[in-house]
Homo-oligomer: A and B are copies of this chain.
């Protein structure tokens, strides 16, 4: 189940400490301009946030194995990989005995009967999002997929993100955050009833991103406390523009042409610098776990570009599968 999409279909593969990670992008139209340098900006944004994330490194630029010829997409599947550099993997055996709280160690060990590669969280590593970002870069080349912008709007419960980071670093602890994403002037009528609503397709992709635990569209959870008369967005012109935008640009699961607005919550990084009392499955006793190594104080800083990519991928797929207004011209 490492694929997603009906027409613009992506398949992710790889493990954190295996030879390489990557993505196959099927269903991309031919004739889109694409070269390795097009990936630099987004992959750099994913690679590093600010001082709240692990120290800045060069991004893992992709090798294009297929689907691009003389800097244009061919219509054949596009395969992008990047090699994993050597990492010290010796520490991970202990996580079979003492699975880290908040990580996938316990469930992956159980699900795959002990055969999963647990080094660096293996296939569950946040490193796998490299392929999402790369597939997002390609999706953004489709003209109708544009104007997507996500940013961290709060961290650790504070809108003053710098201050929140200071406090968390001082406590040798980690914090979560909330990311807001907007799409300016999206095409009208993206989304398919009943089971491929815009919200369904997007949330399916969004919850594949590790550490995300919630999503809300438009007014979101605040809508529970609103009256219908206030929540409804009255139309105000012949293009369908609305006075307010509590719907987040989506009615009945379909984009109405107003800006798409949604927010996601990122949990605090599971690997903290503090000691944790947890269970040792080998000894059958409670124990104290100290996760070594340098980790992100606030992983949410690196996630906006991944949210943008997921949005672009969902939009590309909905655009290409549509057989209604965007498609009727050709029958």
**Interchain CB contact under 8 A, A18 and B115:** no
**Interchain CB contact under 8 A, A66 and B224:** no
**Interchain CB contact under 8 A, B210 and A220:** no
A321 to B19, CA, bound (A): 28
A47 to B104, CA, bound (A): 40
Picked from B21, B27, B78, B256, the residue with its CB within 8 Å of the CB of A107 is B256
CB distance from A196 to the nearest CB of B (A): 4
Query: Does residue A177 face the partner (Cβ distance < 8 Å to B)?
Result: yes
**Interchain CB contact under 8 A, A113 and B328:** yes
A29 to B111, CA, bound (A): 10
**Are A104 and B194 also in contact (CB < 8 A) when A207-B203, A221-B214, A227-B173 are?**
no
In the complex, the chain B residue whose C-beta lies closest to that of A299 is: B228
Query: Does residue A50 face the partner (Cβ distance < 8 Å to B)?
Result: no
Q: Which of A37-45, A52-60, A277-285 contacts B (4 or more CB under 8 A)?
A: A277-285
Q: Which residues in B have their C-beta under 8 angstroms from that of A188?
A: 107, 110-111
Q: Which residues in B have their C-beta under 8 angstroms from that of A155?
A: 224
Q: Mark A151-177, 1 if CB is under 8 A from B, else 0.
A: 000111110000000001001011111
4 new A-B contacts, CB < 8 A, other than A69-B122, A110-B240, A329-B329, are A7-B321, A13-B76, A73-B115, A199-B207
A18 to B219, CA, bound (A): 33
**Interchain CB contact under 8 A, B221 and A178:** yes
Q: Which residues in B have their C-beta under 8 angstroms from that of A207?
A: 197, 199-200, 203, 253
Query: Does residue A242 face the partner (Cβ distance < 8 Å to B)?
Result: yes
**Are A111 and B229 also in contact (CB < 8 A) when A65-B18, A106-B235 are?**
no
In the complex, the chain B residue whose C-beta lies closest to that of A31 is: B115
Query: Does residue A189 face the partner (Cβ distance < 8 Å to B)?
Result: yes
Interface residues in A73-94 by Cβ distance below 8 A to B read 73-79, 81
A-B contact pairs, 23 of them (CB 8 A): A1-B26, A1-B194, A1-B195, A11-B11, A13-B65, A14-B66, A19-B63, A20-B79, A77-B123, A111-B188, A112-B325, A124-B193, A174-B229, A195-B205, A197-B207, A199-B207, A200-B207, A203-B206, A214-B217, A221-B221, A223-B267, A228-B269, A231-B267
